[in-house]
Amino acid sequence: MTTEDFKQRMMPFACRLYPMMKRILGSDEDTRDAMQELMIRLWNKRKELDDCLNLGAYVAVAARNFCYDVRKRKKLPSSDYSVEVLIPGMNSELQQEASEKLYWVHQVIARLPEKYREVLLMREIDGLSIEEIHHLTGYEMPYIRVLLSRSRTKVREEIEKIYNYEKRTIHTA
Amino acid sequence: MKKELSILLDKYYKGETNLEEEKTIREEVSEMTESDSVRDVFAYYNSAEKVPEEVLEEIFESLEKKGKKRRLPSWIYPATAAAASLIFFMMAWGIHQNKINREQQFALMEDALASVANGLQPAEEEQEMLVLWVDENVEIIIN
């Protein structure tokens, strides 16, 4: 396998896993370093990758474990699901209204219990399959579907509550 | 909202959709014009930060450089082993030869010193004797 073949094969996984890695490590700099080191490790194991039955799950598990190792080694604080992580351009006046709505969604997701939030973000932002989430979290696949169902419903209900409250406030005013 | 989308969304909230169906939902929802909780939630997921492509390009570029540095011809490993063995035997042979040479030189030096020592020994002096009496039965000699 040449480095070009490797790149073609790994690029989609790298794109998909970057947000998850950043959620664990917190900063762009640490995430880039971790991604680089992870790719070197996978390149050194490239012969094993050929025999891998589920490459996506293998790479996702390797990335997650590696990030937790880095966080432990560098003694990084546990990354909270902060606003800066996901909503660039929050301060732009032009996008203020849209950003405000995104901010509410963000707040609702941030308040979900950890396992609900984790599974929801893996699915909605990282685009991972149920099987990949199962490999990453160890949860059984039917349980993952339950967690997804509850977290999606909870997010929608909470957002609707906020919108209804906003409407009532406007009418009263 | 279209009926098909409504059915898909029901499935979605039950956690029963697959990735393909979720992609369809996202596409359809993003076309909705009126502000809606569902649309805004999906807008949030779509706004999630994506890794800039140049960052990944940079990462893979550095990997390529490392790969090139490490790529050595396959014959280099047995050749290195053979060269190392040869050097080892040459060194061992050299040490052995030195040892032999030193033994030979030592023996030669020993012979030379022995010859010198023999040359320096004083000649044995004949002892003077005074014969006082000699007959068939008695010899009287004084040293």
Q: Which residue of A has its CA nearest to B45?
A: A125
CA-wise closest residue to B13 among A157, A167, A31, A149: A149
- The answer to whether residues A17 and A72 touch, using CB atoms and an 8 Å cutoff, is no
Give the whole-angstrom CA distance, residue A40 versus residue A49.
Answer: 13
Confidence of residue B15 (pLDDT cuts 50, 70, 90): very high
Is residue A131 within 8 A of residue A141, CB to CB? The reply is: yes
Interface test with B, best of A4, A41, A159, A161 (most B CBs within 10 A): A159
Write down the pLDDT at residue A104.
85
CA–CA separation, A89 and A171 (whole Å): 30
Could you tell me if residue B116 is inside a domain? no
Residues B27, B4: contact at Cβ < 8 Å?
no
pLDDT in tens, chain A (173 residues): 778 888 888 888 888 888 888 888 888 888 888 998 998 888 888 888 888 888 888 899 999 999 999 988 888 877 655 544 444 444 455 456 667 788 888 889 988 998 999 999 999 988 899 999 999 999 999 999 999 999 999 999 999 998 888 777 766 66
Residue at B20 is within a domain: yes
- Residue B124 pLDDT level (bands cut at 50, 70, 90): low
A92-172: CATH topology is: Arc Repressor Mutant, subunit A (1.10.10)
Any idea what the Cα angle at residue B4 is, between residues B1 and B6, rounded to 5°? 50
Nearest to A127 among B19, B56, B60 (CB): B19
Could you give the number of structural domains in chain B? 1
Strand (E) positions, B1-143? 130-134, 139-142
According to DSSP, the residues that pair with B133 across neighbouring strands are B140
Q: What is the ipTM of this complex?
A: 0.77
Q: Is residue B111 part of a domain?
A: no
What angle in degrees, to the nearest 10, is found between the helix axes of A28-44 and A55-73?
130
| pLDDT at B94 (0 to 100) | 86
Q: Where are the domains of chain A?
A: 3-73, 92-172
Yes or no: say if A55 and A117 are a contact pair by the CB < 8 Å rule.
no
Residue (of A101, A79, A96) closest to A19 by Cα position: A79
Where does the pLDDT of residue B126 fall: very low under 50, low under 70, confident under 90, or very high at 90 and above? low
Domain range for residue B10? Answer: 3-48
Specify if B23 maps to a domain: yes
Q: Quick check: B58 and B52 in contact, CB under 8 A?
A: no
Beta bridge partners of B139: B134
The mean per-residue pLDDT over the stretch B7-26 comes to 93
Domain for residue B66, yes or no?
no
Task: Search chain A and give the residue with CA nearest B19.
Answer: A129
